[in-house]
Amino acid sequence: MPTQKSEQQTNYQEMLHKALEEGARQTVTELITGLHPAEIADVLEALPRELRPELWHELPDATRGEVLLEAHGQVRKHLIEASDKEELLAALDTLEMDELADLDAALPKSVVHAMKQGMDVDQRNRYEAVRSYPDDTAGGLMDLDAASVRADVNLKAVLRYLRRLRGREGQLPEHLDSIMVVDDDYTYLGILRLSDVVSLDSEMLVSEAMTTGVPSIPVLTPATNVARLFEDRDLISAAVISDSGRLLGRITIDDVVDVMRKEAEHEVMSRAGLTKATDMFGPLIPSVSRRAIWLGVNLVNAFIAAWVIGLFEQSIDKMVALAILMPVVASMGGVAGNQTLTLVTRGIALGQIGRSNTRHLLFRELVLSMLNGILWALVVAFVVVLWFDNLQLGIVFGSALIINLLMGAMAGTLMPLALQRLGIDPALAGGVLLIATTDVVGFMSFLGLATLFLL
C-alpha cells in the first residue's frame, strides 16, 4: 500500500525537478505553496545537491527557519552553507528560543554571535537554559512555554488566565492539551487537562480537578527513555522537572516522535555502518571516507578468515571440493547468527533482556539452532553425496554446518550483551563481530574436520 503515496510524491518530485532545472520560478512557487516545512525538508532532501539552493532561495524567510529545524543533519548543513549571514538571521528570527538552541551547533559562529546580540535579557536566559542540557536528554527536548497555574484557584480563574495569556502572546503554546499545576515555589504537583477545564464545574478548585498520576520527567532523563515513557503511557505532553521537583518545561509528543524516528533510523543505518544523518546526495568525499572505514574493518575480518583458510592450504590442494563447499558453511552460520543477533539487540533496546533471562534465551536459541542444524545438515549432506558421490564428505559438511549454526546462536546471543556491558552500541559493532566469528568458525570446523577424517 505505501506505493500509493510514493507514486504521488514521485510525480510531484519530477514536476518540481523539471521546474527547477528550467528555472520556472512561478511553477516552483506554485508547487511548494501549501506544503508544511517538514514536507519541504523532505523534498529538499530528495533533490540532487545542485538543485537544493535553487529551491531554498525561493522559500520565504519564515518558512526557511522551520525547514532548517526539520531537515536532517547533513541536509541542514548544506542549506546553511548555501545561505549568507543576513538570510540566516532573517530565517532564525522566526524561531522560538528552544528551537534556536537545537540549531546553533550547525550555525557559523558569526551568525550565532549576531543572533545573541539581537536577543533581550529574557530571551537570552531562556536560550541559555535550554542550551545547558545535552540534546539527547529531556532538558534538550523540552519547550519552555509550559503554561502553569496554582492549585488553590478555581477553574473560572484558570479560564481568565488562559484568555489573558492569549491576549498577551497572541496565541497559546502549541499542542496545549493540559496546564501544569504548581505550588508557590513552582514545585510541580500535577496536570490540569483542558478537557477537564471545559467539562467540569467552573467553581471547582484546580486541586480537585487536576490529574496527579501523570509521570513527570527529571530533566536529565535520556531521550530514548522519554520516548519509551510516552509510548507506554500514551502521553501527549509531560512536565520536565529539576532535581528538586520544580517545573522547568514541557515535552510534547511531536518532539518525541522525532526522537523515535531518529532511533529507528539509527538502528537500521548503523547496521550497515552508515550514520543516521547520511544524506543520499551528500558531498562525495566525506561519504567516501565514512564508507571506506567500514569497508576497511570488514576487510580485516575477511583477511582473518582468509588466513584461517590458508592454514588448510594442503588439504584444499588434495581435495578441491573443500574450497567449493566451504563458503556455504560460513554463510549459513552468518545468516542464522544474524537472526539471533537481531532478536537480542532489539530485546536489549527494549530493556527486556537481563541477567535473569539470559540463560533461558541462550538455551532457547541453541535448541532452535540445533533443530535447524539437523534439518539442513541432512539436506546438505544429501546434496553433497549426489554432487561429489562422497558420503564421508557429506557427513563432515553436515557436522560443520551444525557446529557453525550453534556458534551463530551463541555469538548472536552473547556478543550484543557483552558489547552492551562494554558501552559499545550492539547495532553498530554486533554484525561485524558476528560475521567474523561465524566465518572463522565455519572455515575452521569444515576444513578441520575434513583434514582429520577425510585426508
| Measured CA distances, 403 to 38, 48, 394, 418, 440 (Å) | 51, 48, 14, 22, 12
Q: Under 8 Å CB-to-CB from 97, ≥6 apart: which residues?
A: 119, 123, 126, 127, 130, 144
Nearer to a second copy, 57 or 160 (CB): 160
| Measured CA distances, 105 to 45, 64, 264, 322, 410 (Å) | 20, 17, 23, 56, 42
Nearer to a second copy, 269 or 395 (CB): 269
Nearer to a second copy, 105 or 257 (CB): 257
CB 5 to a second copy: min, Å: 5
Nearer to a second copy, 372 or 445 (CB): 372
Nearer to a second copy, 115 or 253 (CB): 253
CB 224 to a second copy: min, Å: 5
Q: Grid coordinates representing 252?
A: 510534547
CB 394 to a second copy: min, Å: 13
Q: Grid coordinates representing 228?
A: 519509551
CA distance 331 to 329: 6
CB 216 to a second copy: min, Å: 15
CB 347 to a second copy: min, Å: 6
- For the chain, report the end-to-end CA distance as a whole number of angstroms: 57
CB 225 to a second copy: min, Å: 5
Nearer to a second copy, 79 or 330 (CB): 330
Q: Under 8 Å CB-to-CB from 185, ≥6 apart: which residues?
A: 246
Amino acid, res. 100: L
CB 7 to a second copy: min, Å: 8
CB 77 to a second copy: min, Å: 17
Nearer to a second copy, 116 or 150 (CB): 150
CB 65 to a second copy: min, Å: 15
Handedness of CA 346, 349, 353, 354 (dihedral sign): positive
Nearer to a second copy, 17 or 116 (CB): 17
Nearer to a second copy, 379 or 455 (CB): 379
- Among the listed residues 427, 275, 262, the one whose alpha carbon sits nearest the alpha carbon of residue 338: 427
Nearer to a second copy, 43 or 115 (CB): 43
Spatial strand order in the sheet of 178-182: 148-150, 178-182, 188-193
Rounded-to-5 percentages of helix, strand, coil across the chain: 70, 10, 25
DSSP states along 27-95: HHHHHHTT--HHHHHHHHHHS-GGGHHHHHTTS-HHHHHHHHHHS-HHHHHHHHHTS-HHHHHHHHTTS
CB 288 to a second copy: min, Å: 5
Task: Calculate the CA 427 to chain-centre distance.
Answer: 11
Nearer to a second copy, 36 or 113 (CB): 36
Task: Calculate the CA 338 to chain-centre distance.
Answer: 20
Nearest 10 degrees: CA dihedral of 37, 42, 43, 47? Answer: 140
Alpha helices in 104-176 (DSSP H): 109-117, 121-131, 138-141, 155-169
CA distance 394 to 400: 10
CB 301 to a second copy: min, Å: 8
Nearest 10 degrees: CA dihedral of 62, 63, 64, 65? Answer: 60
The answer to whether 431 and 416 have CB atoms below 8 angstroms apart is no
